[in-house]
Structure 1
């Protein structure tokens, strides 16, 4: 696999009243990557934050997350210089975009060597999360689901660890939309219904019926994107999967 891989795709958000655009960016940052290239794309304020980081894992997640976020924002806004885009942290650690084109925001996720981000108009909230499908995480993830959710992912319907990653990412992505993160009990984000389709899975929420999640596996990872219920999201999932398979 190459040391740095990027995939960018335009998303169409079809609403009853209008049609909007969003952008998805997926980045892979190999452990052998020289950090000079990613660092040159940081805003000077981000450089100051980067220099405070001491733990390798935190350094890598910061860089791959910023790379994905900046490229997603640039693709949506037409910004030419990535270092002209500042991704700040809000009071609840949510990412906040500062760039010339206002009213653009971003949701960021990272897992191991991968980072993903969605840039979207502020009028149309979205969230994204990525999690590894890992039997070693079974006990932790199983402790975050309700008894009802457990009935939705019985082995006859879906492989259990896949189902756990599905529920976790669907909830985590929703928490990013609501800007609460892990500060809110996950049972509040309970999934009420799951629909299985050929290339993706759709989740609906018990307490937040105005949102839904589209989820799909990428190799050994599960990705969920949350967006308003009445939006028809047009995304080329198969091309995304093919890209990951080609370079993984």
Structure 2
């Protein structure tokens, strides 16, 4: 996979067209530390200096770098170091850039991978990424609802990959709703499952107004959650990893 992949998205609805931008980055901690002055706001730099553990530093830089690259594609004319991405009371990312309207952001990161999506407040979205690994898969089994047991095989024939994809769907939905892990994951139960080649499309029992688009790439599971009646050309998603 390339180290930075950015894609502008066009979301079609009966009542109009909505823009968005998504970025996926793959960088080591040392690479990100070397370039942090090129994309971090002064307040972000100050906060970064308070982080003591390498894993936390890496997650922070991955999320901020992916977010700034997605914002750059969405807005085009701005300086990355002038944008501050702070945390809300539920740790949701908040974009501070005067004069740009109500721009929203969702971030996901794991190991050396980061993903971010930028969208207008009027069209909520969320993203997540997880490493596919056996130990993590066994932990995820605890969040599988009874009604989802027969859908795991439809998501993917490999149990570990299926469980990890399921987790990213629920995590991305929780970011749309801005609840994070504070809400029982049973509420995010997956309903309908459909495959379009390498992309899995799912709906939700208790949130039928949303859908998830999920895929596997580079040993990771990825998901985007967006309004169910919004149409997104899947070729745009495949450009991210093919």
Whether the TM-score (by the shorter chain) exceeds 0.5 is yes
For residue 199 of structure 1, report the CA deviation from its aligned partner. 2.5
Q: Residues 80-106 of structure 1, C-alpha deviation per residue, up to 9 Å, x if partnerless?
A: 310111111001000011113121111
Q: TM-score under structure 1 normalisation? A: 0.92
Matched, 1:169 2:168: yes
2:58 corresponds to which residue?
60
1:103–1:238 Cα change, 3 Å = same
For residue 200 of structure 1, report the CA deviation from its aligned partner. 0.4
**What are the ranges of 5 or more consecutive residues in structure 2 without an aligned counterpart?**
none
1:80 corresponds to which residue?
78
2:16 corresponds to which residue?
18
Matched, 1:99 2:97: yes
Contact 2:32 2:61 in 1 (8 A): no
| Mean CA deviation greater in 27-36 or 91-100 | 27-36
Contact 1:107 1:127 in 2 (8 A): yes
CA distance in 1 between counterparts of 2:132 and 2:55 reads 19
CA distance in 2 between counterparts of 1:29 and 1:71 reads 13
**What are the ranges of 5 or more consecutive residues in structure 1 without an aligned counterpart?**
243-248
1:216 corresponds to which residue?
215
Q: Residues 37-80 of structure 1, C-alpha deviation per residue, up to 9 Å, x if partnerless?
A: 12331111111210110000000110011000011112101233
CA distance in 1 between counterparts of 2:59 and 2:30 reads 14
1:245 corresponds to which residue?
none
Q: Counterpart of 1:154 in 2: which secondary structure?
A: helix
- CA RMSD in angstroms, aligned pairs only: 1.7
CA distance in 2 between counterparts of 1:125 and 1:13 reads 11
Aligned length: 240
For residue 154 of structure 1, report the CA deviation from its aligned partner. 3.2
Q: TM-score under structure 2 normalisation? A: 0.94
CA distance in 2 between counterparts of 1:34 and 1:188 reads 37
| Mean CA deviation greater in 141-150 or 183-192 | 141-150
CA distance in 1 between counterparts of 2:154 and 2:78 reads 48
From 23, 26, 29, give the equivalent of 1:28: 26
Q: Residues 125-147 of structure 1, C-alpha deviation per residue, up to 9 Å, x if partnerless?
A: 00000011111212201011112
